Amino acid sequence: MIGALLAGLVAGYGVALPLGAIGTYLIGLGSRERSAVAIAAALGVASTDGLFAVLASLGGVGLAGLLRPVVTPLSYLAAGVLLVLAIRTILRAMRPPAELVAGQRLTPLRSYLGLLALTAVNPTTLIYFAAIVLGGQSGGLTGTFDAAVLFPLGVLVASASWQLVLAGSGLLLGRTLSRPAGRRTVAVVSGLIMLALAANLLMP
């Protein structure tokens, strides 16, 4: 029982710790949005990781076989989503503060659902959990209570804790750079990094 939970924690930190497109977006989001939006986004990422852990622990090797053909199309989809987010982030950073206040604000629910969907089409996440299935890293507990509940719970807790750290780092950065120019710089840098990551997804 403890082994399945520990395996989930290790797997969760394994997928969450490398700073990629999702982490970069979380930091940028936290630097310019209120805390409720940033926290909701972090939990959206963790929810997808937890769901993938359930599928990985219960789906078996057959699931990995189903994932292989869609990894490339999802790479293009993820690159497109990142491109749109990067452009929106940069354009939003260029708008005057008064215009931002008057515009539509991002809600926690929209933030949660958006990051849940973005993580779901992230090829890195898919490949990671497919590797867990193929390598039997869920502890060989397929079909048991431990595999169905404790392993995904460990993944969820680990992912949520790290995503909240990233979102909190963005919030702290935003408070430190409280002037509009500082936040604008963070947003533009975040957008440029996402553009680079989108381009990397499109490279063969």
Q: What is the pLDDT of residues 107-165, one digit of tens each?
A: 999 999 999 988 888 777 777 776 666 555 444 545 556 666 888 899 999 999 999 99
Range with the largest mean pLDDT of 1-5, 72-76, 102-106, 115-119: 115-119
- Closest by Cα among 195, 166, 167 to 81: 195
Per-residue pLDDT tens digits for 43-101: 999 999 998 888 777 765 555 566 667 667 767 777 787 788 778 777 776 766 555 44
Strand runs (DSSP E) across 88-187, as ranges?
none
**What pTM does this model have?**
0.73
Q: How far apart are CA 128 and CA 133, in angstroms?
A: 9
Torsion over CA of 182, 183, 189 and 195, rounded to 10 degrees? -160
Boundaries of domain holding 115: 2-202
- Number of structural domains (the chain) is 1
Q: What is the pLDDT of residue 100?
A: 47
